[in-house]
Amino acid sequence: MKELLQKFRLSEEVKRILTNCNNVVIPATREELLALSFGPDASDNYEVRYEVEGKGSILEATVTRCKNGVVANYPEDYMRRRDPDCLLVADELGTDKPKYDDVYKDDFEPLRSATFTWLQNQDLMIVPFMSGGPEYGYPSILIAPVNAAFFGAALADLQGFVSINDIKGEFVPKAIVYLAPPFRHTHFNGKQIVVHNRLTDIHEVFSYNLYPGPSAKKGIYGVLLNIGENEGWTTVHASTVKVITPYDNEIVIMHEGASGGGKSEMVENIHRELDGRVVLGKNTVTGEKTYIELLDTCELRPVTDDMALCHPAIQNDSQKLVVKDAEAGWFLRLDNIKKYGESPHFESIFIQPPKPLVFINLQGIANATCLPWEHTIDSDGKPCPNPRIILPREFVPNIVSDLVEVDVRSFGVRTPPCTKENPSYGIMGLFHVLPPALAWLWRLVAPRGYNNPSINSTNKMTSEGVGSYWPFATGKMVTQANLLLEQVKKSSHTRYVLIPNQHIGAYEVSFMPQWIAREYIARRGGAKFKPEHLVEARCKLLGYCQDSLKIDGHYIRKAFLQPEMQSEVGIEGYDKGAAMLTNFFKSELIKFNTDDLDPIGKKILECFFNDGSLDDYNEILPMRY
C-alpha cells in the first residue's frame, strides 16, 4: 500500500490521515468499487451506518444489489434531493457566497481538524478521478469511509474514474473531496452541508452528507468554476445535442438553465401518445388537448447533459462557442418516466445495461431488476420527485465525444400556468429569439422557476444565479458575469433563443416547447430568421416571437406563439405577468451594477433599467439574422 500511495503527491496532513487510519483501499477497477458498495460480507441489502456522539448508530443510506446495478436509498425525504443552500466557503479568498465563520460564528479550522481525526479512525478508500474529463480535466481524489463505496462508485461514474494501475507518473491532485457524513448531525442539525476551502495549491471539498448531488456532482462543478475563474474561462450549465434533420442538415443546440430547466430533456426524443400523436398542450381551464402531427423527426446525437466545458484550449476562430462534455457520466433524473414505455430510448439501457449502473431514490428489491418508473415513495405517500441514475457516457447511444461548435444557445425556464384571474410569469410563447445582450441578461438572472423537482425549494420565482450555475460556484458573481459576457462577445455567430417548459399561458405543455422548437430550428438551419419573420414580443424581456410557425406542413396555433392571444390570458393577464417578470429582473440585476462589471455589461444594464427597445439592445451587441 505504501508503494501505491507514493503515486500521489499529497500534503503532510493528508499523508497522516492515510498512514494512521485503520486501512486504506484503492480500488483498481469500477467492478471492485461496485463490489465494495455491498459491505465486507457482500450483502444483498447493506446498511450504511455511522456512530454519532450522543445519538448512537444512525442509518444514512441503504444499498441494494439488483440485477442491473447498485440501488442506494436514504431514510429521510430531505436527503433525496439537493438543498440549494448547502454550500459554504471557509477560506479568505474573494467570494459572494456565505462564509462558514459568518454563518456559524466560528473558524472552520477546528472542524477541519476534527474531520481529519474522524477519517483517521475509519477504514478508508481513495478514488482518483479527473475533474472536467480525461483530456482537459484536472487530477482529483476522493477520500471516504469504505462503507460509503456506493458514493465513490457514483463519483467515479460521474467524473471519470482513474485506475491506480493506469497512473504512470506522479498524480498531483488539484482537488480533494473528503466525505464525513456524521458531522451533519453533530454540527449542522441534520442539514446537507458542503464546505469549500480553496487553498493555494489545492481545492478542498468537505462533504458532510451522502447524497452525491451537492458534492460528487455539483461540488466538482464548483471546483471547475473556481479553476476557470482563476484562468479566465467557465463551464456552462448546459446540455448539448447535435441535431440531424430528415434532410441530413446538421446543427448543434446547447440548452442552458436552472435545475429542472429541461437540459436532460433536450437530448431526449419527442414524447408521443400511444397512437403516435404529439400533445402540444392541455388547457388547464377546459381540459382540451391540442395535438400536432410530426411524422419525420430529427436524429439526435447527444454531446453534453449538464456541464459543457468551455476551456480556452478548445476554442477556435469560427466565432462560435466550442464545447466538450465536462463529465464522464450523466446524473439523469427519471421523474418523467412514470410507467413502462414512456422513454423507450433509455428504458432498455437502464433495465439491461452493458454493465451494472448506480441508481438513487428508486425502489430496489434484492436480486431483482430495478425499474426506472418505480420511484422511492416519500413519507407523504407520493413518489420521490428526484429519482436518479448515473449513466456513463459510453452507454449513451450515438454519443458525440468530439468538440462541437454551438449554432444555437437556448435557455430554459420552468413556467407556471397564467390566466387573467391568476396572472404569472408564464407568458412565454413556444420559443423566443433573443438579441445577444438580452440573452446575457437571462443568464445573469437565471430564474429557477416553477415546481422544481431537483431541489428542496418553494414554487415562488427565485434566481438560480449567474449562469444558472451560481449555486455551485465559490467566487464572485460579477466575475462570472464578465466571463459569460466575454463568451457572448467572442461567439457572434452563435444565436440565442428562450424556451419555456411546463406551461404556455393556460396550457400545460411539459417539455414539448423545446422538442418542437428543436425540430423547427434545426429545419431552419439554426434560428436563421429574417427580420420579417419575427415580431417584437409584447414583453421586451422576451425579445422576438413568431407571427406564424409551420412545421411538417402543420401550423402551430398563434395562441402558443403569443400567449396574450389566449382567451384565458388576454392582454390584461399577460401585462400583469410581464410586470412581475420585469420587476423580478430589476430586483436581481441591480447587484451586478458594480465598478468591476465589463463596460459593455454596464451599457446593457443601463439599457434595461432605462426601458430600452430591442433596437437599443441590438446596437450594443448586434443580432445575426
Does some domain include residue 354? no
What confidence score (pLDDT) does residue 552 get? 85
Q: Which helix (H) or strand (E) segment is 285 a member of?
A: none
* Amino acid making up residue 359: F
Distance of alpha carbon 520 from alpha carbon 204, whole angstroms: 45
Grid coordinates belonging to 94: 474573494
Show which of 215, 231, 247 is a domain's final residue: 231
pLDDT of residue 217 exceeding 70: yes
Give the 3-state DSSP-derived string for 460-502, with helices as H, strands as E and coil as C.
CCCECCHHHCHHHCCCCHHHHHHHHHHHHHHCCCCEEEEEEEE
pLDDT, position 33 = 96
Task: Name the grid cell of 365.
Answer: 428489491
Out of 171, 199, 231, a domain closes at: 231
Q: Are residues 86 and 131 in the same domain?
A: yes
Same domain, 227 and 252: no
- Say which residue, 230 or 553, is predicted with more confidence: 230
3-class SS of residue 253: strand
Residues 188 and 261 in one domain: no
Q: Are residues 225 and 287 in the same domain?
A: no
Residues 383-392: what's their mean pLDDT? Answer: 96
Q: How confident is the model at residue 5 (pLDDT cuts 50, 70, 90)?
A: confident
Task: Answer yes or no: are the C-beta atoms of 266 and 514 closer than 8 Å.
Answer: yes
Q: What is the pLDDT of residues 170-209, one digit of tens each?
A: 999 999 999 999 999 999 999 999 999 999 999 999 999 9
Give the pLDDT of residue 530. 76
568/457 same-domain check: yes
Render pLDDT for 268-280 as a digit per residue (tens, 0 to 9): 889 888 888 999 9
**pLDDT above 80 for 451:** no
Instruction: Evaluate whether 201 touches 142 at the Cβ level (below 8 Å).
Output: no
Residues 227 and 270 in one domain: no
The better pLDDT of the pair 462, 625 is held by: 462
Please check whether residue 257 is in contact with residue 263, taking contact to mean a CB–CB distance below 8 angstroms: yes
Contacts of 240 (CB under 8 A, 6+ apart): 252, 253, 254, 255, 267, 302, 303, 304, 308, 323, 325, 404, 406
Note the pLDDT of residue 455.
Answer: 54
Cell of 139: 487530477
Q: For residues 283 and 261, what is the distance between their CA atoms, to the nearest angstrom?
A: 21
Based on the fold, state whether residues 276 and 182 are members of the same structural domain: no
Each residue of 96-151: pLDDT tens digit? 999 999 999 999 999 999 999 999 999 999 999 999 988 899 999 999 999 999 99
Tell me how far the alpha carbon of residue 185 is from its chain's centroid: 27
- The mean pLDDT value for 458-467 works out to 80
209 and 317, same domain (yes or no): no
Question: Would residue 338 count as lying in a domain?
Answer: no
Q: Cell match 482537488: residue?
A: 175
pTM: 0.94
Higher pLDDT, 275 or 609: 609
- Say which DSSP state 573 is in: H
Q: Tell whether 152 and 35 lie within a shared domain.
A: yes
Mean of pLDDT values over 555-569: 96
- Which DSSP state fits 65? E
Q: How far apart are the first and last CA of the chain?
A: 62
Whether 116 and 151 map to the same domain: the answer is yes
Which residues, other chains included, contact 65 with Cβ-Cβ below 8 Å and sequence gap of 6+? 38, 43, 44, 45, 71, 366, 367
- pLDDT tens-digit map of 466-487: 999 999 999 999 999 999 999 9
Domain containing 120: what range?
Answer: 2-58+81-231
